[in-house]
Amino acid sequence: DQQVKQNSPSLSVQEGRISILNCDYTNSMFDYFLWYKKYPAEGPTFLISISSIKDKNEDGRFTVFLNKSAKHLSLHIVPSQPGDSAVYFCAARRSNTGKLIFGQGTTLQVKP
Amino acid sequence: IAGITQAPTSQILAAGRRMTLRCTQDMRHNAMYWYRQDLGLGLRLIHYSNTAGTTGKGEVPDGYSVSRANTDDFPLTLASAVPSQTSVYFCASATGNTGELFFGEGSRLTVL
């Protein structure tokens, strides 16, 4: 069973507009949620995280929102830039084991 | 530059052959992980090691084995490769309490 789901395989936005990437989870035993960014032929790199006790974390153009009642988190990128074009993975950390469970990934394309 | 080194970058091998993917880190992180990335499935944990001398099974451990003789090295072995093990394999390490992983560049494996 997929405990962390990214239901949109791809997203295309215009440069300068907002990109919103979504992620849903089914298990309440997660204490941290993270977003990773991956370029082709490279390993994923950490982007931003949020503790389960918070509902928002902001870092420059990137903001992550957590809605625990809906078991939903989202990553907002404002303004979007062509260099943001990549695959984005959300991940949730199990509080009992510390291991990360990843979603399927969403490919973001930012058009100039 | 400190980080994780994986080898080989890519490999094609015949089914039934034995293969070891190498992973070395120089960050002195205690925890290390092996993930495989497959289209539509995201990153799935194969095996992990919380500290030198210990290993554990992840979500998809069958057909793989690992060892952790020291802090820096965490090789992944396919004893008898099968075509379903065709994938991109990522080694990662972690420190701290937020679950942030540092990934290598990946090893692309094709089993024919």
Residue-averaged pLDDT of chain A: 94
What proportion of chain A, given as a percentage, has pLDDT over 70?
99
What's the order of all strands across the beta sheet hosting A62-67? A4-5, A19-25, A72-77, A62-67, A56-59
Cβ separation of A98 and B99 shorter than 8 Å?
yes
Residue-averaged pLDDT of chain B: 94
Minimum-distance CB partner of B98 among A49, A99, A104: A49
Query: Can you tell me the distance from the alpha carbon of B43 to that of A35, in angstroms, rounded to the nearest whole number?
Result: 13
**Which whole number is the average pLDDT over A6-32?**
94
**Which whole number is the average pLDDT over A84-99?**
92
- Has residue A27 got a pLDDT over 90? no
Strands (E), chain B: 4-7, 10-13, 19-25, 31-38, 42-49, 56-57, 64-66, 76-78, 87-94, 101-103, 107-111
Reported as half-sphere exposure (CB side, CA atoms, 13 A), residue A69 has a value of 0
- Has residue B44 got a pLDDT over 70? yes
**Which whole number is the average pLDDT over B52-58?**
94
**Which whole number is the average pLDDT over B64-69?**
98
- Has residue A2 got a pLDDT over 90? no
**Which whole number is the average pLDDT over A34-57?**
95
Nearest chain B Cα distance for residue A40, angstroms: 10
**Which whole number is the average pLDDT over B30-52?**
93
pLDDT band at B40 (very low <50, low <70, confident <90, very high): confident
pLDDT of residue A96: 82
pLDDT of residue A55: 96
Cβ separation of A41 and B106 shorter than 8 Å?
yes
**Which whole number is the average pLDDT over B70-88?**
97
pLDDT of residue B97: 65
Query: Can you tell me the distance from the alpha carbon of B74 to that of B35, in angstroms, rounded to the nearest whole number?
Result: 12
Per the CB < 8 A criterion, the answer to whether B71 and B52 are in contact is yes
pLDDT of residue A1: 65
- Has residue B4 got a pLDDT over 70? yes
Minimum-distance CB partner of A100 among B40, B50, B101: B101
| Integer angstrom CA distances of residue B14 from A34, B17, B78 | 37, 6, 12
Reported as half-sphere exposure (CB side, CA atoms, 13 A), residue A18 has a value of 9
**What six digits make up the tokens of A91?**
């991940």
What proportion of chain A, given as a percentage, has pLDDT over 90?
87
